[in-house]
Structure 1
Amino acid sequence: MEPEPDAVLKEGETLGDWTIREKLGQGSYGAVYTVVNKKGELYAMKTESVKSYNKVLKAEYYVLSELKRVKAQHFCAIIDSGLIGETKYLVMTLVGLTLTELRKYNPAAKVHKFSLGCALSVGIKCLEAIQEIHSVGYLHRDIKPSNYAIGRIEVRQIYLLDFGMCRKYKDNSSNIRNPRSFAAFRGTVRYAPLSCHVAREQCRKDDLESWLYQQVELTTGRLPWKNMKDRDDVGKCKKLCRQKEYVKELLGGCPREYLAILRLIDSLRYYSDPDYARICDYLREAIRNNNVSEYPYDWEMLNEKTAAE
Structure 2
Amino acid sequence: MVVVGELWEVFDKIGQGSFGEVFAGEDKQTGQKVAIKRESSETTCPQLEHEYQMYQALHGLDGFPKVYYGGQEGQYNVIVMERLGPSLKDLLQLSPTQRLPLQTVIYCVPQILERLEALHSRGIVFRDVKAGQLCVGRYGDDISISPQLFMVDLGLAKYYIDESGRHIRNKKPDWKKSKTGTARYASINVHKGREHTRRDDIESLGYIIVELVKGRLPWSNLRALTSREGWKKTLDIKLDTLLYDLTDGLPDPFRFLIDHARQLGFAEKPDYATLKRMFVDLYQHQWGNEVLTWTVEDGSEWSAGTQEHLDAWCDTGLAYSAG
The TM tier, using the shorter chain, reads 0.7 to 0.9
Residue in structure 2 matched with residue 6 of structure 1 by the alignment: none
Comparing 284-293 with 153-162, greater Cα deviation is found at 284-293
- What is the CA distance between 1:249 and its match in structure 2? 2.4
CA 1:286 to 1:35, structure 2 compared with 1: closer, same or farther past 3 Å? same
1:239 aligns with 2:236: no
1:258 aligns with 2:254: yes
Q: Which whole-Å CA distance do the structure 2 matches of 1:133 and 1:50 have between them?
A: 27
How do 1:5-84 residues align onto structure 2 when only pairs under 5 Å count?
12-15=1-4, 16-38=6-28, 39-68=30-59, 71-84=60-73
Question: Would the aligned equivalents of 1:114 and 1:298 in 2 still touch at CA under 8 Å?
Answer: no
CA 1:306 to 1:65, structure 2 compared with 1: closer, same or farther past 3 Å? closer
Comparing 203-212 with 16-25, greater Cα deviation is found at 16-25
Coordinate RMSD, CA, aligned: 2.2
Moved over 6 A (4+): none
Question: Would the aligned equivalents of 1:45 and 1:89 in 2 still touch at CA under 8 Å?
Answer: yes
Residue in structure 1 matched with residue 294 of structure 2 by the alignment: 298
Partner SS, residue 12 of structure 2 = strand
Question: Would the aligned equivalents of 1:105 and 1:299 in 2 still touch at CA under 8 Å?
Answer: no
Is there any run of 5+ residues in structure 1 with no aligned partner, and where? 1-11
CA 1:83 to 1:227, structure 2 compared with 1: closer, same or farther past 3 Å? closer
- What is the CA distance between 1:33 and its match in structure 2? 0.9
Partner SS, residue 258 of structure 2 = helix
- What is the CA distance between 1:307 and its match in structure 2? 7.2
1:144 aligns with 2:138: no
Residue in structure 1 matched with residue 77 of structure 2 by the alignment: 88
Q: Which whole-Å CA distance do the structure 2 matches of 1:62 and 1:221 have between them?
A: 34
Question: Would the aligned equivalents of 2:100 and 2:295 in 1 still touch at CA under 8 Å?
Answer: no
- What is the CA distance between 1:238 and its match in structure 2? 1.3
Residue in structure 2 matched with residue 197 of structure 1 by the alignment: 191
Residue in structure 1 matched with residue 318 of structure 2 by the alignment: none
How do 1:130-279 residues align onto structure 2 when only pairs under 5 Å count?
130-152=116-138, 153-154=143-144, 156-181=147-172, 182=174, 183-229=177-223, 230-241=230-241, 246-279=242-275
- What is the CA distance between 1:28 and its match in structure 2? 4.2
Residue in structure 1 matched with residue 98 of structure 2 by the alignment: 112
Partner SS, residue 222 of structure 2 = coil
Question: Would the aligned equivalents of 1:98 and 1:149 in 2 still touch at CA under 8 Å?
Answer: yes
Partner SS, residue 94 of structure 2 = coil
Q: Which whole-Å CA distance do the structure 2 matches of 1:307 and 1:77 have between them?
A: 23
Question: Would the aligned equivalents of 1:46 and 1:91 in 2 still touch at CA under 8 Å?
Answer: yes
Residue in structure 2 matched with residue 284 of structure 1 by the alignment: 280
Q: Which whole-Å CA distance do the structure 2 matches of 1:207 and 1:270 have between them?
A: 12
Q: Which whole-Å CA distance do the structure 2 matches of 1:307 and 1:212 have between them?
A: 29
Q: Which whole-Å CA distance do the structure 1 matches of 2:290 and 2:69 have between them?
A: 35
Q: Which whole-Å CA distance do the structure 2 matches of 1:31 and 1:117 have between them?
A: 34
CA 1:194 to 1:218, structure 2 compared with 1: closer, same or farther past 3 Å? same
Aligned letter for 1:232? K
CA 1:28 to 1:114, structure 2 compared with 1: closer, same or farther past 3 Å? closer
Aligned letter for 2:197? C
Question: Would the aligned equivalents of 1:118 and 1:295 in 2 still touch at CA under 8 Å?
Answer: no
Q: Which whole-Å CA distance do the structure 2 matches of 1:138 and 1:247 have between them?
A: 28
Structure with bigger RCO (C-alpha 8 Å, 6+ apart): 2
Aligned letter for 1:96? G
1:100 to 65, 89, 103: 89
Partner SS, residue 97 of structure 1 = coil
Q: Which whole-Å CA distance do the structure 2 matches of 1:202 and 1:47 have between them?
A: 27
- What is the CA distance between 1:125 and its match in structure 2? 1.0
Is there any run of 5+ residues in structure 2 with no aligned partner, and where? 224-229, 309-323
- What is the CA distance between 1:291 and its match in structure 2? 4.2
Q: Which whole-Å CA distance do the structure 1 matches of 2:291 and 2:216 have between them?
A: 23
Partner SS, residue 78 of structure 2 = strand
Between the aligned residues of both structures, percent identity stands at 27
CA 1:228 to 1:252, structure 2 compared with 1: closer, same or farther past 3 Å? same
CA 1:307 to 1:171, structure 2 compared with 1: closer, same or farther past 3 Å? closer
Question: Would the aligned equivalents of 1:103 and 1:113 in 2 still touch at CA under 8 Å?
Answer: yes
Aligned letter for 2:17? G
